[in-house]
Structure 1
Amino acid sequence: MQSNSRQSARQSGAEAGWRVGVLYSRTGVTAATGSEHFYGTVLAIEEINAAGGVDGRLLDPVAYDARSDPDEYHRLASRMLQDDDVTVIFGCSTSSSRKAVLPVIERYNALLWYCSIYEGFEYSPNVIYTGAVPNQNSMQLAAYLLRNHGQRFFLVGADYIYPRESNRIMRDMVEQHGGEIVDEVYLPSDAEPDALDEVVRQINAAQPDVVFSTLIGRGARKFYQLYRERGIDPARIPIASLTMTEGETHMIGPELCGSHIVSASYLNTLNLDGNKRFLKSWRARFGDQPASMWSEMAYNQVHLFALALARTKNLDTAKLVESIHEVEFDSPEGVLRIDPENNHAILTPRIAVCRPDGAFDIVWEGRSPIKPDPYLISYGLAEFWLDGEQA
């Protein structure tokens, strides 16, 4: 645990700016997602600093590339906290990287802002979780698929905690409501094309009603390409995902992604004033590169942090967390708040279908934001059946 004197020294030092850490992977298997997290973070920091910073001081980022390696995440987080006068880190794109840095975050009583969706079943007083948990995306996706696509599901995922837990939850929900899992397959995070091709052949042989994919990174993108190359029609057997968004559809080839499905709290086709402002800033800074939930969630959490910091005027972790529970941000996906019961974001679930141009049409959205339930205490789909509600 970091001593009070050490934390006070850090607060009084570097008066020219508020030192913060930025720790994402811009190389390696999760480079696409990590880079989008990085760009969203950069945009928010630049906006805040252009407006004068917080309490007259600019945000002063220290950024490292963790190269998609959990050990590197741990090493660099330790370096930030021990050597770089950092007590707040925006970082990590996967559960494996978050798990790698959590011990050092807690040891030094620092604050991690984690903006990826994840499998839930975690709480730390030293983490603010701004991505969706299963009761804000998986449950709604299961209900939508069972109602609109059929009972037979094929599950494929990368072999680490997030895909395995997400698939366990999906299996339970599908079987609980009369569906069937025809197969469940796991591959390395950076799976070789031959292994991915074999899974596509298995899907072709099984002829499920839908494929639920928790593959990530380069392997996921190659999987979508092989799917069409092997003649599977997404209009008949779509791939449903929690992670495949606008940035990666353009990397895959938009024409290959039509009819595939995603469950997410943010799509860049949202017709909200906050999203129009965000996209205007995004395009001015990054041009034609599409914004997605990865960049948007990273952007949101920096603005939430700045609002909380404006109240505390110091980086004391406990005071910041208390303040975070009292602020809200008019984000691109709607008003964003953090639940004081568990430090997770209150989010509106949405389901969208990909168009041949790589953008998404929202086909369903929740009536209102849903409180996060990371431990699935209210397990089951009864309250999430879609009742014919359309966007």
Structure 2
Amino acid sequence: MTLTLPIGVLYSTSGTYQRISNHARNGALRAVEDINRQAEGIRLEVHEFDPRGELDAYHQGVESLLQRGLRHIVGTTTSASRKDIVPDLERAAALLWYASPYEGFECSENVVYLGGSPNQNLVPLLGYVLREHGKRGVLVGSNYVWGWESNRIARELIGAAAGEIVAERYFHFGDADFTSVTEQILQSDTDFVLNNLVGESSYFFLKQLNTACARAGRRLPVLSCNFTECELPAIPHLNHLRLLSSGPWFDVAGNAFSASQRVGGVEGTFSSCYTCAYTAVTMLARACQAIGNDDPDAVLAWLQNQPQATPLGTLSLQPHNNHLTLPNCIAEARDGRFDIVHRQPAALEADPYLTRTPLAQFHELAAPLAAPNLRVVK
């Protein structure tokens, strides 16, 4: 007997962050295709709603999906859209499978977090950059919770390393003029920029900063925890920036999952947006097939009791916070793709409230260099 599992897909196909959202949507829908073609005893039935990048429409979308009796929804890209629908999910005892990185300081029993919290992306990134590139940073972000919280954490980590925040600026979604902040960056002795802008604003900022750096004859590191392969076509030829991104997965040469997707007929490059959404659907389907139904509590209990084989490696869903353990890589954009420059030795357990994350590496950076021992020779 085949179990038919209805799932909701809630991603925007248009709007200011459509590149990210569409890549995640493609990953989720491709997982559905693969499962329906390969798996025995289960078939996924997709119910989709497109909010088109409008925050109010996410509430309408989740209500529409829940009214059809759905208990599992894969989707949303921004933290604003996720937070907007959590009360609806809690009332309906349904699960959101959230495959995007986020700013932490949240733990809902009705959300499965698969994209990474700050200790899984931002902390390793800043630890690497403060060691390798210097301690004077400019923080730029979209004017909502992702930008605010990510930059707040960055302030604390840079401060722990005795670094300096040269400037901190926020912009609305869709803003396109970054002249004032690019001038401020170049007029100061800035070692790096942390870019927490989202979507089109990020592309405008990077292009304008690259132009400004070209005029000044500088090449500046720009860091991100939410910039992936799907956005590189929007910013070609940024020869005066070093784009460093931190995440759980990159489409590097020889990657087995990417190869399998291309053999299956999917063209182009992939991203952690795609891969994490693909992972969400496959984990959900595997759990439902094992228990014979889609009861959210039973699904979570099954997943939390055994490690899961995923395109990102064998990972575990943490029972105390519904976050997935994740690997971390830091990669630099080169010639239209990312190359990994640093890799954490093991997958990181999520610590969304940063209560167990050691900060010794940052305090060590703050320690003054030991004075040399002088020996008087007579």
* TM-score, with length taken from structure 1: 0.88
Matched, 1:108 2:79: no
Task: Name 2:226's counterpart in structure 1.
Answer: 243
How far the C-alpha of 1:285 sits from its partner, in A, is: 3.4
Match of 2:260 among 280, 284, 307: 280
**1:203 alignment partner AA:** I
Distance 2:159 2:117 in 1: 20
* Structure 1 residue 327, shift from structure 2 partner: 4.0
Does 1:375 find its partner at 2:353? yes
Does 2:61 correspond to 1:81?
Answer: no
State the 1:19 CA deviation: 0.6
Shifted more, 228-237 versus 215-224: the winner is 228-237
Q: Counterpart amino acid of 1:265?
A: P
Cα 1:366–1:112, aligned 2, differ >3 Å: closer, same or farther?
same
Match of 1:8 in 2: none
Q: CA deviation at 1:68?
A: 1.5
Q: How does 1:211-290 map to 2 (within 5 A)?
A: 211-232=193-214, 236-256=219-239, 259-269=242-252, 271=254, 275-282=255-262, 284-288=264-268, 290=269
**Which residue of 1 is the match for residue 341 of structure 2?**
363
- Matching of residues 3-18 of structure 1 within 5 Å: 17-18=4-5
- Which of 159, 163, 166 is the matching residue for 1:182? 166
SS in structure 2 of the partner of residue 89 of structure 1: strand
Q: Structure 1: which amino acid aligns with 2:31?
A: A
Q: Which amino acid aligns with 1:124?
A: S
Aligned pairs for 1:1-391 (under 5 A) are 17-52=4-39, 56-82=41-67, 84-191=68-175, 193-194=176-177, 196-232=178-214, 236-256=219-239, 259-269=242-252, 271=254, 275-282=255-262, 284-288=264-268, 290-355=269-334, 357-382=335-360
Matched AA of 2:121? N
Task: State the Cα distance separating 1:307 from its structure 2 match.
Answer: 1.5
Deviations along 1:205-245, whole A, 9 cap, x unmatched? 22300000100101101111112222358973211111111
C-alpha distance after superposition, 1:327-378 (max 9, x if no partner):
44332322122111211010111111111x1211211111111111011102
Aligned with 1:121: secondary structure?
coil
* Contact 1:209-1:236 at 8 Å conserved across structures: no
Measured in 2, the distance between the counterparts of 1:257 and 1:67 equals 34
Identity, in percent, stands at 34
Q: Check conservation: 1:213, 1:239, Cα contact below 8 A.
A: yes
How far is the alpha carbon of 1:283 from its aligned partner? Answer: 6.3
Pairwise CA distance, 1:279 = 3.4
Would you say the 8 A contact 2:308–2:315 is kept in 1? Answer: yes
Instruction: Decide whether aligned partners of structure 1 residues 235 and 346 sit closer, same or farther in structure 2, where only a CA change above 3 A counts.
Output: farther
Structure 2: how far apart are the matches of 1:261 and 1:158?
A: 18
Task: Provide, for residues 41-99 of structure 1, a one-character-per-residue CA deviation record: whole Å limited to 9, x for no partner.
Answer: 0111111000135xx231000111111122111111011001x2211000110110000
Question: Take 2:240 and 2:287, find their aligned partners in 1: how far apart are those partners?
Answer: 39
Larger radius of gyration: 2
Q: Is the 8 A contact 2:192 2:221 kept in 1?
A: yes
Q: Is the 8 A contact 1:258 1:354 kept in 2?
A: no
Q: Which amino acid aligns with 1:248?
A: E
Whole-Å Cα distance in 1 between the matches of residues 139 and 263 of structure 2? 36
Describe the shift of the 1:369–1:385 C-alpha distance in structure 2 as closer, same or farther (beyond 3 A): farther
Q: Secondary structure at the match of 1:113?
A: strand
Q: Do the aligned partners of 1:300 and 1:329 also contact (CA within 8 Å) in 2? A: no
Q: Which amino acid aligns with 1:213?
A: N
In 2: Cα distance, 1:212 partner to 1:368 partner: 25
Q: Contact 1:225–1:256 at 8 Å: present in 2 too?
A: no
Q: Cα distance, 1:250 vs. partner?
A: 1.7
Distance 2:362 2:325 in 1: 16
Give the letter aligned to residue 246 of structure 1: E
Q: What amino acid does structure 2 have at the position aligned with 1:338?
A: L
SS in 2 for 1:231: helix
Write the distance in 2 (CA, Å) between the matches of 1:98 and 1:286: 28
Alpha-carbon shift at residue 29 of structure 1 (Å): 1.1
